[in-house]
A and B are shown apart, each in its own frame.
Chain A
Amino acid sequence: MNAPMKSRRYQDAESEMLDLDALFDRRPDEGIYRVDRSIYTDPAILALEIRHIFEGSWVFICHESQLPNPYDFITTSIGLRPIFVQRDGSGQINAFINACTHRGAQLCRTAQGNRKFHACTYHGWTFDAAGKAIWLQRTEQGYSESFSSDQVALEPVARVENYRGFVFGSLNPDVPSLAEHLGGAAEFIDMLFDQCPEGWTVLPGKTSSIYHGNWKLMLENGGGDGLHPDYAHKSILGVANRKTERAGAIQTMQIDKMHEKVGRQWTFGHGHTGIWFNFPNPEDRPIYQQKERLTQTYGETRATWMTSIFRNLSVYPNLHMLDQMATLIRTFRPISVDKTEITFYCLAPKVESPAERVRRLRQYEEFFMGSGMGTPDDNAEFEYCHEGAKGASSAGKSFISFGLHNRIVGQDETAKTLGIPLESSGLIGYEGCSMSQFDEWLRLMKRATQGATS
């Protein structure tokens, strides 16, 4: 006799076999934190992450400036699920699974566009910008009297919220408000948003890069790896030095020896993390030209934070909002357990002088994107990490312990002064940022395996 069919999806069966806690050796008070590297290479873990992290919580989906006009849409994805994001006639931003409810064909097939109606070219089913099915083929002949087109409305992304231009979505309706989810991390977004009264825009020209490694390697790197720049980015630090003597050159923002500057690494809770330190050459940033205006509006301290301090924000699980060597959005998603797509958007004030704009572009292009002189070196290290993590025995554990024994739980003095709630903080290099990300990882993954819903 055949075994009874399993009533639960295979991921749940997998997760019951995986002892997630056993992947971590967590002794922060002793200054020890190790992570089993199968977390980067095991396809069963990725299947769980897709379902319970990317499809189970808030993820960043786009910047509102990508949809300037009513009925503009863009196509993107939440984890592996294709979505389109559209501004409706009233200006509200909605998102839907990008699949016709008839046979599942993708409805929007271009990167961006503008249209009021989405007609599927396979069988003609047509939907409006609110996801309502407004035309189906031969309904009178094909479907019973009890059929209503409401039954075949597009599947909406359950929650879509916009925090100061940054649009997030959740396929799981049972998540806290975005503001609650972001917590203190929102303060870093505020410090960006408040810089320009006319608002921010992503500049034309988005680029994507692939690296052959697990998605969490990017997350951890941009989430506050303050230990890698002097090594992985040594070559562009050298370029920066070469340029200092060159008259007229747009200078590179200096990030060498960041641990010798005034700075800290912060964790905000929910896996959100940040790193900041005083730039030695803030006058080389385009926004520095606005410092006087910002001081008048926001006071000296906040204006300094906006214009002169390197700020790296990582919003779990897929957004890096960087306002540092350049100002940009870096978002990323797993393609498979060993392949990750990173997409880069250069952020700019809608109104700025030509000189500021050019400086902004050249600083962005110099370091970031797969064609820059910084990103490729990160990508290469992620690939070398992924190679180093391969194999079936669990002997390989990453030692992610820097700054744990002398971390501060809760706010440090700077955060108290600024009124920013923190989960913890540490010195530059503090690997509690990774630990905090894995805390959120465990919370989401265990919530799933234990059957809880929130």
Chain B
Amino acid sequence: MTMPLTFEAFQQLTGVIREQAIALDEQRWDDWQSFYTDDIVFWLPAWVDEHTLTSDPFNEVSMIYFAGKAALSDRVWRFISGTSPASTPLPRTSHLIGSDLVESFTGDHAVVNCRWHTTVVRNGRTWFYAGSCRYTLRLEAGNWRIAERYITLTNDQIETALDIYHL
């Protein structure tokens, strides 16, 4: 059941979203992972045509789909291992989060929609990725944690690489 959203709750919810983006820019990977629940579902669907996204991750292609924090940690482990040429050196990133809208709030569960824009600088090139993101957050031991991230990528094409530090 939806409850009235207090200003304090709004600040906490959007704060988590903003904090995790800042953690990516500052390459604080352990901090970043701490914002996610153990059963995190992380989903970036692919485009079918100009305006249609894939909608079934069990029958259609997603650019990224995984469930569980172990898969999230695998990704982080890989790109900081020093053995991934695409992530060594890592790019500088600048995440911008905006247009936040709290879609639902029940006291211990909330859905927040926002837009994101990441400027990427690497090896003399500058480019951006942008899109929308729907965060499903859950209150765990008094802290809001991200249980689901549904991300869309507005770009048509990936420049060399797209990893979670870009998103």
User: Which A residues are within 8 Å of any B CB, using their own CB?
Assistant: 110-112, 203-212, 232, 234-236, 238-239, 242-243, 246, 249, 341, 346, 354, 357-358, 361-362, 364-365, 369-371, 373, 375-377, 379-381, 383-384
The residues of B that contact A373 with a CB separation of less than 8 Å are: 75, 78, 84
* B81 closest partner in A (C-beta): A235
Q: Determine the distance from Cα of A258 to Cα of B84 in the docked complex, in whole angstroms.
A: 19
* A207 closest partner in B (C-beta): B46
* B60 closest partner in A (C-beta): A204
Q: Determine the distance from Cα of A362 to Cα of B64 in the docked complex, in whole angstroms.
A: 9
The residues of A that contact B99 with a CB separation of less than 8 Å are: none
Q: Determine the distance from Cα of A246 to Cα of B62 in the docked complex, in whole angstroms.
A: 23
The one of B58, B61, B79, B158 that contacts A235, using a Cβ cutoff of 8 Å:
B79
CB distance from B163 to the nearest CB of A (A): 7
- Do the beta carbons of A379 and B160 come within 8 Å of each other? yes
* B73 closest partner in A (C-beta): A242
User: Max chain B CB contacts within 10 Å: which of A110, A243, A358, A369?
Assistant: A369
CB distance from A136 to the nearest CB of B (A): 29
Q: Determine the distance from Cα of A371 to Cα of B87 in the docked complex, in whole angstroms.
A: 12
Q: Determine the distance from Cα of A381 to Cα of B65 in the docked complex, in whole angstroms.
A: 25
- Do the beta carbons of A383 and B123 come within 8 Å of each other? yes
7 A-B pairs with the lowest CB-CB distances in the bound complex, closest first: A370-B158, A205-B61, A205-B46, A376-B161, A376-B86, A371-B63, A235-B84
The residues of B that contact A203 with a CB separation of less than 8 Å are: 59-61
Q: Determine the distance from Cα of A249 to Cα of B68 in the docked complex, in whole angstroms.
A: 10
Q: Determine the distance from Cα of A102 to Cα of B79 in the docked complex, in whole angstroms.
A: 52
Q: How many residues of B contact A (CB 8 A)?
A: 40
- Do the beta carbons of B161 and A357 come within 8 Å of each other? no
Q: Determine the distance from Cα of A357 to Cα of B57 in the docked complex, in whole angstroms.
A: 10
Known contacts A361-B59, A365-B61, A384-B85, then 13 further A-B pairs from the complex at CB < 8 Å, ordered by chain A residue:
A204-B61, A205-B54, A205-B60, A205-B62, A238-B77, A238-B81, A246-B70, A371-B64, A371-B158, A375-B161, A376-B162, A377-B84, A383-B160
- Do the beta carbons of A365 and B65 come within 8 Å of each other? yes
The residues of B that contact A234 with a CB separation of less than 8 Å are: 81, 83-84
The residues of B that contact A375 with a CB separation of less than 8 Å are: 161
Q: Determine the distance from Cα of A380 to Cα of B162 in the docked complex, in whole angstroms.
A: 12
- Do the beta carbons of A341 and B157 come within 8 Å of each other? yes
CB-CB contacts of B127-163 with A at 8 A, as 1s and 0s?
A: 0000000000000000000000000000011111111
B8 sits at the interface (CB 8 A): no
- Do the beta carbons of A211 and B70 come within 8 Å of each other? no
CB distance from A329 to the nearest CB of B (A): 12
* A375 closest partner in B (C-beta): B161
* A381 closest partner in B (C-beta): B85
The residues of A that contact B45 with a CB separation of less than 8 Å are: 205
CB distance from A280 to the nearest CB of B (A): 20
- Do the beta carbons of B70 and A110 come within 8 Å of each other? no
- Do the beta carbons of A362 and B65 come within 8 Å of each other? yes
The residues of A that contact B83 with a CB separation of less than 8 Å are: 234-235, 238
Q: Determine the distance from Cα of A246 to Cα of B75 in the docked complex, in whole angstroms.
A: 15
* B65 closest partner in A (C-beta): A365
The residues of A that contact B87 with a CB separation of less than 8 Å are: 235, 376
* A387 closest partner in B (C-beta): B123
Residues 1 to 60 of chain B near chain A (Cβ within 8 Å)? 44-50, 54, 57-60
Q: Determine the distance from Cα of A235 to Cα of B57 in the docked complex, in whole angstroms.
A: 25
